[in-house]
Structure 1
Amino acid sequence: MATREVAEHKINRGFAIHFAVYAIVVGALAYMNHTRNPDNLWVMWVAGGWGLGVVLHAILAFTPATREKGVHNVMERQNEREARGSNMTDKMSQPAR
């Protein structure tokens, strides 16, 4: 049975991973852009577009109404996985016919 704390942890971890990957990749691209072509700041398009996605993810993860819906969805998915897993275990423990 999925708990609320586990669901909230998964939501927080999902956002943290998204933000960390964004920061690392955009940082590396900014370095490349600055060292190879400083006159053309194309990295701003990447940072802006992906940054918009990160901001929307933060809104969905941390706004109370949408967070509640997200926690509910994560708990439902986890309960479905556990139910499928127990059915599979039951089927595997039965002798073959």
Structure 2
Amino acid sequence: MEKDFTEADRYYEAQKKVKEIRGFYEHLTVYVLCNPIAIVVNLMTCPEYLWFIWSVLGWGVAIILHGLKVFSLPPFFNKKWEEKKIREILEKENQQRLEK
């Protein structure tokens, strides 16, 4: 079931994708700028407990997941998966309607 996109639709989709990519790079920039500050604050105030590791790891996982989503790399929850799930739900609803 292939859609016939007009030039305006294609432009809108490309514009949306560029915004997503820009959002990822902004997120990555904030990560790169804020974590050194957290590291310095941690080492200056409480060097015996390295709590900055939790910030770097937790936020790092979020950055990775964000990048996977933006660049369409995850093996799950991509557009094909969404379309397949929608078809499954519609078929299930149609089946239930026919059984009533």
Same fold (TM over 0.5): yes
Structure 2 residue 59 is matched with structure 1 residue 47: no
Per-residue CA deviation, residues 8-47 of structure 1 (Å, 9 max, x unaligned), is 2101101011111112121110111122222210000111
How many pairs align?
Answer: 68
Aligned amino acid, residue 61 of structure 1: V
Counting aligned pairs with the same residue, the percent is 28
More helix by share: 1
TM-score (norm 2): 0.58
> What pairs up with 1:18-97 in 2 under 5 angstroms?
18-63=27-72, 69=79
Unaligned runs of 5+ in 2: 1-7, 80-100
Aligned amino acid, residue 7 of structure 1: K
Q: Who is 1:81 aligned against?
A: none
C-alpha distance in structure 1 between counterparts of 2:73 and 2:48, whole Å:
43
Unaligned runs of 5+ in 1: 70-97
For residue 7 of structure 1, report the CA deviation from its aligned partner.
1.7
Q: Who is 1:90 aligned against?
A: none
Structure 2 residue 18 is matched with structure 1 residue 9: yes
CA RMSD in angstroms, aligned pairs only: 2.1
Specify which structure has the bigger relative contact order, considering alpha-carbon pairs within 8 angstroms and separated by 6 or more residues.
Answer: 1
Q: Which runs of 4+ in 1 moved over 6 A?
A: none
C-alpha distance in structure 2 between counterparts of 1:47 and 1:41, whole Å:
11
